[in-house]
Structure 1
Amino acid sequence: MPERPYHAPKGGLPPQTRLLTGRAVFTEAYAVIPGGCLSDIVASLLPFWEGARFWVLARPMSGFAETFSQYLAEIAPGGGSDRPETEPGAQAVLFVLEGEMRLYLGGKAHDLAPGGYAYIPPGSDWRLRNMGEAPLRFHWFRKRYVPVEGLDAPSPVVLNEREIAPVEMPDTGGVWATTRFVDPDDLRHDMHVTIVTFQPGGVIPFEETHVMEHGLYVLEGKAVYRLNRDWVEVEAGDFMWLRAFCPQACYAGGPGPFRYLLYKDVNRHMPLALGPCA
């Protein structure tokens, strides 16, 4: 399979001559963070990381998306962390956009190139380094694992998307396909990160309205995306953040494929708040 492009931010700061009106929006149901918003002045630093900065694309917020956080990380050559996660019970997914990552997970070293995926179970001993001569850029998804009595925690997974055949969605003629890194029937997992691909002209043919929260990062191409009441143009480098039940659909614009990295929470009961006794 040929290598695919993955859009990654380069930071910097727009010139003083640029108009301020852009495409960024935050509503009660969704948010859009265009790639151009990921400038130097909105990057974050984190404890126990060296030569690293992070753009926080999503974080739990009361009344909005509440299950996950998503970072876009940039690590300088030689940089990384021997203590990347400080919150007990957190699981992670890493997806490499650019550069060379060496991931140490469970006592084993794994080298990840662009397209590389790693699922890191809760409680894992892991660390990573940029082993190349150029910046390493990757997505880092974090979610507190929800254990279920009688189900073990998932095992580690390290793959590259080039090793996986996309699954065509039924009755679409191949214009809509999903690359799945873990078995969707494996109920040990309480989150999925996949790659969704639309060929030019492909559509989600109805307004999906469902309980899963979403983070969508556009890896390649452009489309018009339906978000709640609005049609929004998006392109490579843009991020969309959807709360549960936000209506959604899309139309891939071409001239090439439209592809995005998708997070969703899955396979768990909805927690019920305890109300007053009758």
Structure 2
Amino acid sequence: MKVIGLSILFSLFSIMSNAQLSEVKSGVYKWSELPVKKGVQREGRKIMEGSSPHFSFLEVHATTQEKGAKPALPHTQDDIEEILIVKEGLMKMTMDGESQILPAGSAILIPPLVEQSLQNVGDGPLTYYVFMFKSKANTDIERSEKAGGAMFINSESLVFKPSKKGGRLDYLERPTAMCKNLEMHVTKLDGKGPSHAPHTHIDSEMVLVIEGETEMSIAGQTYSGKAGDLYLIKSNEHHGISNVGETPCRYLSFRWY
């Protein structure tokens, strides 16, 4: 009997129900409250699924593979773009025959029609987030290819840029097959206080807390988040994030429209 990976199962179920999805909710999605689905040497956590102001389909989940877990078979997505973020462990990622070994904090951009497979090659568990999305506008493969196509972003190759409040790591800013612009960066705040003044923008945004204790205001509501938690801010919602802990915080933001 063939065993299908949790990531592929999530993808199949999500695509089958795509036409029936309601819009995802802004706010915080807490790691400790996510239901866990067990598989063979792996487990999955469904974080959100629905539509959004710019996407007809948006689905986020996290998968943990144990050491030595059998890798999923290579596969492609016809009309879905993906971003993977390595939470812990060491991942071997292969796209269209090219492989790289990626540590925690690394990211992968996978356009539609790119063959992909991954494997846990570390000495412990591999946990990674998967963000899957389809634009309400037409998919633009040519735009993606002109901007660089599929991308491996090794966290160890990024350059930290200090600031008065801490600093940041820039991952990417470019068009993709599904986005007119997609921007990703990590912010570090050394002390208590806001990153910047509350504001709005046309982009929708997700903020993944990597370290520390944070507080986010979204459309008049206040939420708290620590490592592993994910904030969602939809287009034009007034928002702002602060470090509320006694130690530095770090969080990965990505914005799209």
With the length of structure 1 as denominator, give the TM-score of the two structures.
0.70
- Alignment partner of 2:82: what SS? strand
Residue 105 of structure 1 corresponds to 95
Q: Find the partner of 2:110 among 120, 123, 126.
A: 120
Q: Find the partner of 1:210 among 177, 181, 201.
A: 201
Identify the structure with the greater helix proportion.
Answer: 2
- Alignment partner of 1:237: what SS? coil
Residue 274 of structure 1 corresponds to none
Deviation at residue 136 of structure 1 after TM alignment: 0.7
Distance 1:68 1:194 in 2: 20
Runs of 5+ in structure 2 lacking a partner?
Answer: 1-23
User: Which range moved further: 257-266 or 122-131?
Assistant: 257-266
Deviation at residue 248 of structure 1 after TM alignment: 0.7
For the pair 1:131 / 2:121, whether they are aligned, the reply is yes
Contact 1:58 1:241 in 2 (8 A): no
Contact 1:58 1:69 in 2 (8 A): yes
- Alignment partner of 1:88: what SS? coil
Deviation at residue 139 of structure 1 after TM alignment: 1.3
Distance 1:67 1:235 in 2: 26
Contact 2:52 2:58 in 1 (8 A): no
Q: Find the partner of 1:199 among 186, 190, 199.
A: 190
For the pair 1:158 / 2:152, whether they are aligned, the reply is yes
Deviation at residue 33 of structure 1 after TM alignment: 2.2
Distance 2:123 2:149 in 1: 31
Q: Find the partner of 2:71 among 72, 75, 80.
A: 80
User: Which range moved further: 189-198 or 207-216?
Assistant: 189-198
Change (3 A) 1:84 1:246: farther
Let me know the Cα RMSD of the aligned residues: 3.0
Residue 8 of structure 2 corresponds to none
Corresponding letter in the other structure for 1:180: D
Deviation at residue 230 of structure 1 after TM alignment: 2.2
Deviation per CA, 1:83-106, whole angstroms, max 9, x where unpaired?
455x41222222212122111112
Deviation per CA, 1:71-118, whole angstroms, max 9, x where unpaired?
211112223311455x41222222212122111112122111212222
Runs of 5+ in structure 1 lacking a partner?
Answer: 1-27, 267-278
Deviation at residue 64 of structure 1 after TM alignment: 10
Over the matched positions of the two proteins, sequence identity in percent amounts to 15
Distance 1:102 1:248 in 2: 36
Distance 2:114 2:101 in 1: 18
Deviation at residue 249 of structure 1 after TM alignment: 0.7
Corresponding letter in the other structure for 1:197: K
- Alignment partner of 2:27: what SS? strand
Change (3 A) 1:99 1:156: same
Distance 1:120 1:149 in 2: 12
Residue 44 of structure 2 corresponds to 54
Residue 165 of structure 2 corresponds to 175
Contact 1:65 1:242 in 2 (8 A): no
Distance 2:55 2:139 in 1: 20
For the pair 1:237 / 2:228, whether they are aligned, the reply is yes
Contact 2:79 2:139 in 1 (8 A): no
Corresponding letter in the other structure for 1:114: A
Residue 32 of structure 1 corresponds to 28
With the length of structure 2 as denominator, give the TM-score of the two structures.
0.75
Contact 1:65 1:243 in 2 (8 A): no
Distance 1:262 1:88 in 2: 26
Contact 1:97 1:139 in 2 (8 A): yes
Deviation at residue 219 of structure 1 after TM alignment: 0.7
Deviation at residue 264 of structure 1 after TM alignment: 2.1
Q: Size of the alignment, in residue pairs?
A: 227
User: Which range moved further: 159-168 or 93-102?
Assistant: 159-168
Identify the structure with the greater strand proportion.
Answer: 2
Residue 175 of structure 2 corresponds to 187
Deviation per CA, 1:143-172, whole angstroms, max 9, x where unpaired?
22654496343422212223212446xxxx
- Alignment partner of 2:225: what SS? strand
